[in-house]
Amino acid sequence: MSDATAPPELGSTLLTDRADAASVAALRERVGHVARDQGFADLEVTKFVLVVHELVVNAIRHGGGSATVAIWAEPPGLRCRVTDAGRGMPPHRVNPRRAQPADRIRGWGLRLVYRMCAEVEVVTGDGGTRIDILFPIVDDRP
């Protein structure tokens, strides 16, 4: 799966980038700038960066060592697409909403994404994984 561009009907792409383990920190910085530029308040910037970071790190770790990221505006928030070229995800990992032992160290990233995003779509198979999210803007400024 290499389609990391925003579908034209959903708006202009604000960021398109590729990341690996060496560049993920710089990507976080760019994602934060995009969210600020779109009017996200500080807490929402932090949350959006965390969600994108979790998706990217999972793609790097489990999807072949790199990830492609696209972010575009779609009211009422931002859409983000993260793709990788790995072997795909097993079905039980695609929607991790079932209970998990609290003492488990790994396996929280995608759960966090589902909890923090208005929409999550996972498309996965032998050619890789694509995850699209909608992260709503919540303006908590006075």
- The answer on pLDDT for 4 being more than 60 is no
The per-residue pLDDT for range 53-63, each reduced to its tens digit, is: 999 999 999 89
Mean pLDDT of the 119-133 span? 94
| CB count in 10 Å sphere of residue 124 | 20
Supply the pLDDT for residue 111: 85
The per-residue pLDDT for range 12-27, each reduced to its tens digit, is: 789 999 999 999 999 9
Q: What is the mean pLDDT of the chain?
A: 85
**Global confidence as pTM:** 0.84
Supply the pLDDT for residue 2: 46
Q: CA-CA distance, 133 to 81, in Å (whole number)?
A: 7
Q: Give the domains, in start order, of the chain with CATH numbers.
A: 8-95+107-136 (3.30.565.10)
Confidence of residue 6 (pLDDT cuts 50, 70, 90): very low
Burial (Cβ within 10 Å: 0-12, 13-18, ≥19) of residue 117: buried
CB 82 within 8 A of CB 117: no
Task: Name 11's Cβ contacts closer than 8 Å, sequence gap at least 6.
Answer: 72, 73, 74, 79
